[in-house]
Structure 1
Amino acid sequence: MEIFKVEKATLSSVDDLKAYHAHIRPFVLQRLEEFRETWERGDEAVFEELVFCILTAGASALMGLRGVEALRPVLWSATAEEIAQRIHFHLYPAARAQYIVAVREVVRNELGGRLKAWIESWRGRDTRRDACVQKFKGIGYKEASHFLRNISFRGYAILDKHILRSLHAFGVIDSDRPPSTRNRYLAIEQRYLTFAHQVGIDPDELDLTLWASRTGMIVK
C-alpha cells in the first residue's frame, strides 16, 4: 500500500480545516476507495485487515503495515512463536502474536473462514462493532472502529491520540484522554459526528484529514 505523504498543518480555525481538507481530498478519496476494494477482495483480505488493526493497537499504523508485510506469507500457518519472531520489531511481539493466533482460530473454526458473511450478519452499526469487540481478542472499540472503516463500513469514529488531540484543540471535547468505557467512546463519537456535520465534511474524510494534519501522512 502506498503511503500518501502530505504537509502537516496547524488547523487554527474551521476555515483552516476546510481549506486543508480541500487540498488533500483527492488522496483521501483514493484511500477510501481502497477500503472498498479491500472488502471486495474477499475474506482473506478482510482477515489481513483485522490483523493489521491488532498490530496497530498500542503501536502505530506504520508498525501495523510492517507487521502485515512480515506475516503475509505465513499468516494462516505460523505458530504464535513464529509470528512473534517475524514481528520482533513490534513493541509487543509476543502478546500480538497470541492475539493473532486466537483470532485466526475463531475465524477458521467458529466462522468457517466466512468472515465477511459474519460481519454482514450484524445489521446495526453499533451492534456490528460490539460484536467485533466481543469476538476478537485484542480488539477494543477504537480498533473495531478502525477495522470496520478499513473494510468500507462508514461513519465510525477512530478515536486515536491524533483525532482526540484535534477534537480537543477545536473545543469539541474537554479532554484528549482516551475513552475508557464503551459509553464514553460512544459519547465522544457522537460529538465527532456532530462536528463533522457542522463543518460540512464527511466523517470518514474528516478522520483522514485530521490524522494527516498531525502526521503528514494518509495511511489507513
Structure 2
Amino acid sequence: MHKQHLINEYDRKKSIIRKRLGSFAKPKSDKALFVELCFCLCTPQSNAKRVATIINENNHVKLFNAGLDELRQMLRSNARFHNNKARYIVNARAYFPEIKNLPKHTIKAREFLVKNIKGFGLKESSHFLRNIGYRDLCIIDRHVVNMMHDLNVFKNKKMPSSHKQYFEMEQKIKDFAKSMNIDVDELDLLLWSMKTGFVFK
C-alpha cells in the first residue's frame, strides 16, 4: 500500500472518523460503560459486528447478572472462545467500581486494566480506553501490524511479544501518524475502515 492511498482514504473519511471519536468522548452511563467493557473483552479474534449483536445495552442486565453458564450460551454463536470470555465478564464485574473511576492519566488507566482485568492485555485495554474517550493509544493487532509493515513502518509482521515491544511499536505508529499529519487515534479507525469498509469501533 502506498502512503498516497492512505492519505486519499483519510481525506475521504476523516469527517466520519472525527465524528466517531467525538461520540467516544461523550460521558457514559454505568450501563453503557459496562457494555463497552464487555464488548472489548469479547472482540479479540471475533467479528466485532457479530459481537455487537449480543453485547449491547439491550442485554445489559444479563451481562451484569447472568451466571457463567448463561453467559456461555449467550456468547456461543457470536464470539470465539466463549467459555473464556464468559469468565472474563464475570471477573470484570468485581472491578466495575474501579473502572468507573479510572485514573484520568491514560497510561495509568491502561496499567490498571492490564494488571486487574482478565482478558485485557495492552491491545484490549487500549481498545476499551479509546472507546470511552481516552486518546493517544495504539490498538496493535494483526491487521495493524500487517498494514504498518506494508507502509514500511515495521520491518516485519511479527506481533509484539512483550510490553517493551508493544511500547516500541506503539511509538513507531505515533511517529508515523505525526509524519503523515494524521492524529494517531484517527489513524487506527482509518486502518480498520480500510479493512472492513466502514468506520466502527
Q: Same-fold call, TM > 0.5? A: yes
**Corresponding position of 1:199:** 180
The equivalences for 1:152-171 within 5 A come to 152-171=133-152
In structure 2, distance between residues paired with 1:58 and 1:19? 29
Equivalent residue letter for 1:185: Y
- Cα deviation 1:154-195 (Å, max 9, x = unaligned): 010001122111101001011222211111100000000000
Equivalent residue letter for 2:198: M
**Pairing 1:43–2:10 present:** no
**Please, what is the CA RMSD of the aligned residues?**
1.6
In structure 1, distance between residues paired with 2:51 and 2:171? 27
Q: Helix, strand or coil: the match of 1:57? A: coil
Over 3 Å counting, the alpha-carbon distance change for 1:60 and 1:179 in structure 2 is: farther
- Identify which range, 145-154 or 16-25, moves more after superposition: 16-25
- Cα deviation 1:49-102 (Å, max 9, x = unaligned): 111000012323223312303743412110111111111212211111011001
Contact 1:35/1:149 (8 A) holds in 2: yes
Aligned pairs, number: 199
Hey, which bits of structure 1, 4+ residues long, moved more than 4 A? none
Equivalent residue letter for 1:36: A
Pick the aligned partner of 1:180 from 155, 161, 175. 161
In structure 1, distance between residues paired with 2:104 and 2:21? 22
In structure 1, distance between residues paired with 2:59 and 2:123? 23
Unpaired runs of 5+ in structure 2? none
Shift of 1:15: 1.9
**Corresponding position of 2:60:** 72
In structure 1, distance between residues paired with 2:156 and 2:46? 21
In structure 1, distance between residues paired with 2:171 and 2:155? 14
- Under a length normalisation based on structure 2, what TM-score does the superposition of the two structures give? 0.92
**Pairing 1:128–2:109 present:** yes
In structure 2, distance between residues paired with 1:106 and 1:154? 22
In structure 2, distance between residues paired with 1:88 and 1:205? 32
In structure 2, distance between residues paired with 1:63 and 1:178? 25
Give the share of equivalent positions with the same residue, in percent. 31
In structure 2, distance between residues paired with 1:129 and 1:191? 19
Contact 2:28/2:132 (8 A) holds in 1: no
Contact 1:43/1:115 (8 A) holds in 2: no
Pick the aligned partner of 1:212 from 193, 196, 201. 193
**Corresponding position of 2:6:** 17
Equivalent residue letter for 2:86: A
In structure 1, distance between residues paired with 2:15 and 2:40? 24
- Under a length normalisation based on structure 1, what TM-score does the superposition of the two structures give? 0.85
**Pairing 1:53–2:40 present:** yes
In structure 1, distance between residues paired with 2:29 and 2:99? 9
